[in-house]
Amino acid sequence: MAKSVLSDARFHNEEAAFAYVEAELWPNGPVCPHCENADSAKIGRLANVRSKPSKKHPEGVVRVGLRKCYACRQQFTVRIGTVFEDSALPLRLWLQAIHLLCSSKKGISTRQLQRILGCGMKTAWHLGHRIRFAMAPGNPGQLGGLGKIVEADETELARSRKTKRPEGFRRKTHNPVVMSLVERGGEVRSTMLDHRRVMTHIRAFVHKDSHLVTDQAQHYKHAPVATHEAVDHSKYEWKRGEAHTNTLEGFFSVLKRGLVGVYQHVDKKHLNRYLAEFDFRQNNREKLGIDDVQRAKHAIRGMAGKRLTYLDSSA
Ligand SMILES: [Zn+2]
């Protein structure tokens, strides 16, 4: 049997975990987050510095990956200024969590994460959400363009009718609806649908020279694009030459199996973060030659420079 990736040193040894993350975030050597000094002659390693004593570690623990900048005389590690700074959890556990989220097609529940990492429920939840946040594109560009096809479609996240409803469950609850845009052969972007903002959303994320394909939904009429074609699902029309939304149908089936099955109780206010996770895996999929390890590396790069925005978005 092939050796599991999870047996690699970076998942078990803190020094190896730091070396791995440093190689991703500092490809040209360490950079001081305080003064941006990147001159390696002016940055030293501090070995055997111990943290302050605590109840759990009365002697303190050796601070792995600690550096000192001789330009500004401050200390730092690769975690500073990244999403990794938000938890005291060892970096090797962060790497395990990232790997799990990047390699499981339908996502991974907080409970499962908690069991595998052996941490608390709250910690697992926070970890999951911070990683999802890092997976969202920092600066999402527009999809499509001249001669390119963009599909737009929605899907309702409803529980299976076979699922037993809790006592007193109201039949008429509003299930969240996801709206996704995909450039054929390109990237997907999903968001929770807000009927009033469909036009704004399309204007922001679809290039105006694109050819848009949708179903007959009213809110796509007058979409700000070069050309628009709609297939009429009510007349059992799913495909008319290039006009179809099959790319999104495929994506939605993975999304639904994940969100309805794994993440059974997704709060609407966190839905966009889960969607970022599914978009990320789709946009870094195997078919594009991106394997689990490569995908995790992309997520690690997303951890950089996003710390403050995370704090803002969760307020
Ligand atoms: Zn410095």
Count the Cβ atoms, other than its own, within 10 Å of residue 150: 27
Percent above pLDDT 70 for the chain: 90
Q: Copy the structure tokens of residue 62.
A: 């050796």
Examine the pLDDT at 11 and tell me if it is beyond 80.
yes
Assign 91 a pLDDT band (cuts: 50, 70, 90): very high
- The DSSP bridge partners found for residue 183 are 150
Q: Which of 98-112, 237-251, 254-268, 270-284 has the lowest mean pLDDT?
A: 254-268
What does the pLDDT average to over 92-106? 93
- How high does pLDDT run on average in the chain? 88
Ligand 1 geometric centre to CA of 65 (Å):
15
The whole-number pLDDT of residue 299 equals: 95
Of residues 238 and 151, which shows the higher confidence score? 151
Handedness of CA 82, 87, 90, 95 (dihedral sign): negative
The whole-number pLDDT of residue 138 equals: 81
What does the alpha-carbon distance between residue 222 and residue 305 come to, in Å, rounded to a whole number? Answer: 38
The string of pLDDT tens digits covering residues 299-312 is 999 998 676 555 55
Ligand 1 geometric centre to CA of 77 (Å):
11
Ligand 1 geometric centre to CA of 38 (Å):
8
Examine the pLDDT at 181 and tell me if it is beyond 90.
yes
What does the alpha-carbon distance between residue 291 and residue 240 come to, in Å, rounded to a whole number? Answer: 34
CATH numbers and ranges of domains, the chain: 149-282 (3.30.420)
Count of alpha carbons within 13 Å of 267, Cβ hemisphere only? Answer: 4
Ligand 1 geometric centre to CA of 20 (Å):
22
What does the pLDDT average to over 16-43? 96
Ligand 1 geometric centre to CA of 283 (Å):
36
Ligand 1 geometric centre to CA of 79 (Å):
15
Q: Which of 66-80, 159-173, 201-215, 275-289 has the lowest mean pLDDT?
A: 159-173
Q: Which long-range contacts (CB under 8 A, 24 or more apart) does 85-88 make?
A: 85/307, 86/126, 86/130, 86/307, 86/310, 87/123, 87/126, 87/127, 87/130
Ligand 1 geometric centre to CA of 68 (Å):
8
Ligand 1 geometric centre to CA of 37 (Å):
5
Distance of CA 7 to the CA centre of its chain: 24
What does the pLDDT average to over 145-169? 77
Ligand 1 geometric centre to CA of 303 (Å):
21
Ligand 1 geometric centre to CA of 41 (Å):
12
Strands 188-192 and 177-183: antiparallel
The whole-number pLDDT of residue 170 equals: 54
Strands 211-214 and 149-156: parallel
What does the pLDDT average to over 101-123? 91
Examine the pLDDT at 220 and tell me if it is beyond 60.
yes
What does the pLDDT average to over 61-80? 94
The whole-number pLDDT of residue 314 equals: 53
Ligand 1 geometric centre to CA of 72 (Å):
4
Handedness of CA 194, 197, 203, 204 (dihedral sign): negative
The whole-number pLDDT of residue 87 equals: 80
Is 37 within 8 Å of 43 (Cβ atoms)?
A: yes
The whole-number pLDDT of residue 88 equals: 83
Three-class DSSP category at 15 = helix
What does the pLDDT average to over 120-134? 92
The whole-number pLDDT of residue 237 equals: 79
Examine the pLDDT at 7 and tell me if it is beyond 50.
yes
Ligand 1 geometric centre to CA of 169 (Å):
58
Ligand 1 geometric centre to CA of 32 (Å):
5
Q: Which of 12-16, 57-61, 80-84, 251-255 has the lowest mean pLDDT?
A: 57-61
Examine the pLDDT at 315 and tell me if it is beyond 50.
no
Ligand 1 geometric centre to CA of 34 (Å):
5
End-to-end CA, the chain: 46
